[in-house]
A and B are shown apart, each in its own frame.
Chain A
C-alpha cells in the first residue's frame, strides 16, 4: 500500500532563506508526483508536476526533484518570501486507477 510522508510537518524561517521540503513514498511504481500549495481555508494550487520519467521540474523560484528509486522528492524554494507562507502538499499518482495519494503537508511560515 502506497504511503506518502512529508517532513518536516512545520517549518518557520526568516525571509530570504533558501529551503527544502521533503516528500517520501513507499512504492516506486508511480506515474507522476505533484506539489501543491494550500492557503488557509482555501483550495489547492498546483505548483509543479513531475512525470515518472523526469528527474526535476522548475518554475520560477521553485524546483522539484524526483528520485523514484529512493522514493523521494524534494521541493526547493529559493529566496523565500512572506507570501510563500502556506501548507505545501505532495501527492503521488500510482496504481492503475486515477487517485492521488497524499502526504499530510508541511506548514511553512516565512517571517519578514
Chain B
C-alpha cells in the first residue's frame, strides 16, 4: 500500500509570492491534516480536512488556506509569502471512522519551503 505522498519535496520562493503544496493520502484514508514544523516552534497544526470539508483550523493567519478534493487529495496554499513561512510542511493521513478518534496518523516526507 502506497504511503502519504507530498509534492514537491523542495521549494524556493520569493517574499510576496504564493505557493501551493500537494498531499495524496493513503488510499482509503479520508482525513488529511497539515502541520508546519520550524526549529523554534516545533510542529504546529494548520488545519484538517475530512470529506472535502475543513473540520478544524489552527492559529495561523488567513494567508494559509487549503482544500480537499473528492479523491481525498489535499492542497495547501500560502499567499503573500513571508520569510517566517520558511519551514517543513507535513501532511498526515488518517481514517477517522465517525465518532472514532483513536486512529493512527501517517505522515508524508514533507515539503521544505524556503522563502528568500
A-B contact pairs, 18 of them (CB 8 A): A31-B101, A34-B105, A36-B107, A43-B90, A43-B108, A44-B92, A46-B105, A46-B107, A49-B102, A49-B104, A89-B43, A91-B105, A97-B48, A98-B96, A99-B45, A100-B45, A102-B42, A103-B42
Per the 8 Å Cβ criterion, residues 24-62 of B in contact with A are 31, 33, 35, 42-45, 48, 50, 55-56, 58
Write the nearest CB–CB distance from B72 to chain A, whole angstroms: 15
Give 1 or 0 for each of A26-65: 1 = CB within 8 Å of chain B CB.
0000011010100001111110010110000000000000
Closest CB pairs A-B (n = 7): A99-B45, A44-B107, A43-B109, A97-B56, A102-B43, A31-B101, A104-B42
For chain B, what secondary structure do more than half of its interface residues adopt (helix, strand, loop), or is it mixed? strand
Count of chain B residues near A, Cβ 8 A = 29
Q: Give chain A's interface residue range (CB within 8 Å of chain B).
A: 20 to 34
Do residues A98 and B109 form an inter-chain contact, with CB atoms below 8 A? no
Residues from chain B with Cβ under 8 Å of A49 in the complex: 102, 104
Give 1 or 0 for each of A71-112: 1 = CB within 8 Å of chain B CB.
000000000000000000101010001111111110000000
- Kindly report which residue of chain B lies nearest to residue A52, judged by CB atoms: B102
Residues of A within 8 A of B (CB): 31-32, 34, 36, 41-46, 49, 51-52, 89, 91, 93, 97-105
Do residues A32 and B107 form an inter-chain contact, with CB atoms below 8 A? no
Residues from chain B with Cβ under 8 Å of A31 in the complex: 101-102
